[in-house]
Copies of this chain bind each other. A is one copy, B any other.
């Protein structure tokens, strides 16, 4: 009986110890999984896009430019992801606000008001974001969401 308790506590403490060394963050394997799913979704409709994935500090972890995508989309995808992680909200929130007449948002540094940038949360902490650019902004958002489902 006492061994049973000991084993339970041992398991809990080891488990906690392991978690202790895992602070919520986004790693490259996860970013690849997200990007693979996003790329597969884009290919399904023959859409060409740039996929940008940032960490919680707003630094690039992964970027892919699908063949034929306009070069402007490299910075746009990056900027959408940056807006999402800097303001901890999807760029759609800013897009909706601007559509409702709240154009003043356009003067905020790093704020992008076009759909396609979505923050990524783990345990309530913003660990990064994905940004998509290349097709229409609602299509960009469909791809971003398909990517995040793979996480």
CB distance from A8 to the nearest CB of B (A): 9
Contact of A98 among B2, B13, B76, B103 (CB under 8 A): B103
Cα–Cα distance between A72 and B76 once the two chains are bound (Å):
17
How many chain A residues touch B (Cβ–Cβ < 8 Å)?
A: 59
Assembly of this chain: how many copies? 4
Contact A86 B111, beta carbon cutoff 8 Å: no
Contact of A109 among B32, B76, B85 (CB under 8 A): B76
Contact of A85 among B71, B75, B94, B95 (CB under 8 A): B71
Contact A79 B109, beta carbon cutoff 8 Å: yes
Between A and B, 14 residue pairs with Cβ closer than 8 Å are A2-B2, A12-B13, A12-B17, A16-B17, A19-B20, A57-B71, A59-B65, A61-B64, A75-B109, A76-B108, A79-B108, A94-B107, A105-B107, A106-B107
A positions within 8 Å CB-CB of B: 2, 5-6, 9-10, 12-13, 16-17, 19-20, 23-24, 27-28, 32, 55-67, 70-72, 74-76, 79, 83, 85-88, 94-95, 98-99, 101, 103-114, 126
